[in-house]
């Protein structure tokens, strides 16, 4: 009888601890939480050839409600960093704080609650082929012991949210790649998380489907207010959806900032390399005609680069007033990112001097003379 009393007491203590952890988690979520902070984070893996340093000196904060992108080349440490947020990876040193709580101190009960507050979607969907859409989405709630009626209601809600009404009883083999990812997103949202982690979520999709999934994620962020943290190796994905971007290089922070700022004026070689696929070279027909010395009766070709920090973006009337009314636009690639116009213009004008370039001042991020051409270009 005494042993039974001790066991009962231990169970009661554990139950109280679990309830306290759950209450604390719910309170954090109710406060509109979803912030993540890394403090002096490092991660080292042991291999047959020795220690491999995957992350080092990671110190940054992801504010609640933000769409935050992490990019880097293969082996940069993106996945390792992402998986520390829900403690699928335990840091070797340093701390990860979710809603101000050091998750490294969580016991198993608190860790279960944490992972219900953090949804995750994957590159290859991770759906169970023998289960229907409804069953795949419902699985986290079934495991949590949620009553059947509540499960049915919640599954209907999230399938409608991701645009899969009428697909409840369909098996994954009958779905397109985009539909499979929508099922994965619905499953990740079924616990009403405050943070959504996206592990290369669009890498297996074609460009058109990628855009539709990114639009869905943006809509979810706006309607639900949850924090989205995504990793990718594609700068086009960062440009399309993220507000802030972190560039990782060999496990360290290369640079971080608003997407328009990092795209417009990259500071690190790794960032410039990642942006290279988005840049366009000088058109071949123009490049073939360029010569280093002025041509009699010809024009000077200028490359004008806009970083996004210029007031109002490209001002064509200003260009005409500085370079002369005969200024001609030869080629242009101007994007708008987060309300900032950035990109490059190639223009041709006569009688351009270095003083003219300086006069452009804050209206152009940078300007340089590429060469000279005859006027028939």
Q: Give the DSSP per-residue string, 237-280.
A: HHHHH-SEEEEEETTEEEEEEEHHHHHHS--SHHHHHHHGGG--
Backbone CA torsion sign across 125, 245, 81, 22: negative
Q: Residue 377: its pLDDT value, please? A: 53
Confidence of residue 270 (pLDDT cuts 50, 70, 90): very high
> Residue 291 has what DSSP assignment?
B
- The answer to whether 141 and 192 have CB atoms below 8 angstroms apart is no
- The answer to whether 285 and 324 have CB atoms below 8 angstroms apart is no
Q: Residue 313: its pLDDT value, please? A: 76
> Residue 124 has what DSSP assignment?
T
Which pTM value belongs to this model? 0.84
Q: What percent of the chain has pLDDT over 70?
A: 90
Domains and CATH numbers, the chain: 9-276 (3.40.50.300), 284-373 (3.30.70.260)
Within the chain, residue ranges assigned H as helices are 2-30, 78-84, 108-117, 133-144, 148-161, 177-189, 207-224, 235-241, 259-264, 269-275, 284-287, 316-323, 354-360
CA 332 to CA 319: how far, in whole Å?
14
CA 349 to CA 339: how far, in whole Å?
29
Query: What average pLDDT score do residues 6-31 get?
Result: 46
Backbone angles phi, psi at 304, to 5 degrees: -110, 120
pLDDT one-digit tens code per residue, 216-250:
999 999 999 999 999 999 999 999 999 999 999 99
Q: Angle, to 10 degrees, between the axis of helix 177-189 and the axis of helix 133-144?
A: 20
On the question of pLDDT at 274 being above 80, the answer is yes
CB atoms within 10 A of CB 282: 17
CA distances, 376 to each of 285, 328, 372 (Å)? 12, 12, 12
């Amino acid at each position: 009888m005494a042993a039974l009393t001790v066991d009962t007491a231990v169970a009661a203590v554990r139950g109280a601890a679990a309830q306290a952890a759950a209450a604390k988690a719910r309170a954090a979520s109710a406060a509109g939480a979803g912030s993540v902070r890394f403090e002096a984070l490092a991660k080292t893996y042991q291999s047959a050839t020795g220690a491999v340093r995957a992350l080092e000196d990671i110190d940054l904060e992801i504010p609640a409600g933000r769409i935050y992108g992490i990019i880097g080349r293969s082996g940069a440490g993106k996945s390792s960093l992402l998986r520390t947020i829900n403690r699928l990876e335990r840091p070797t040193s340093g701390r990860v704080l979710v809603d101000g709580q050091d998750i490294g101190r969580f016991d198993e009960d608190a860790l279960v609650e944490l992972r219900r507050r953090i949804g995750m979607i994957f590159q290859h969907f991770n759906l169970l082929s023998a289960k229907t859409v409804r069953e795949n989405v419902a699985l986290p709630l079934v495991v949590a012991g949620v009553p059947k009626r509540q499960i049915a209601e919640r599954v209907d809600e999230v399938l409608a949210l991701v645009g899969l009404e009428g697909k409840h009883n369909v098996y994954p083999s009958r779905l397109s790649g985009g539909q499979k990812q929508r099922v994965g997103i619905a499953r990740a949202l079924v616990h009403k998380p405050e943070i959504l982690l996206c592990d290369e979520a669009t890498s297996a999709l074609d460009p058109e489907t990628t855009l539709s999934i990114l639009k869905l994620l943006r809509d979810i962020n706006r309607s639900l207010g949850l924090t989205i943290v995504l990793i990718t190796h594609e700068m086009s994905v960062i440009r399309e959806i993220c507000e802030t971007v972190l560039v990782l290089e060999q496990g360290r922070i290369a640079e971080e900032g608003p997407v328009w700022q990092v795209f417009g004026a990259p500071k690190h070689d790794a960032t410039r390399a990642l942006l290279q696929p988005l840049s366009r070279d000088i058109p071949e027909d123009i490049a073939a005609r360029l010569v280093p010395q002025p041509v009699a009766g010809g024009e000077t070709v200028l490359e004008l680069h806009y970083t996004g920090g210029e007031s109002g973006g490209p001002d064509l009337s200003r260009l005409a007033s500085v370079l002369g009314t005969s200024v001609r636009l030869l080629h242009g690639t101007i994007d708008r990112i987060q309300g900032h116009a950035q990109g490059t213009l190639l223009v041709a004008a006569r009688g351009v001097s270095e003083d003219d370039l300086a006069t452009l001042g804050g209206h152009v991020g940078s300007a340089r003379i590429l060469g000279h051409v005859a006027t028939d270009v």
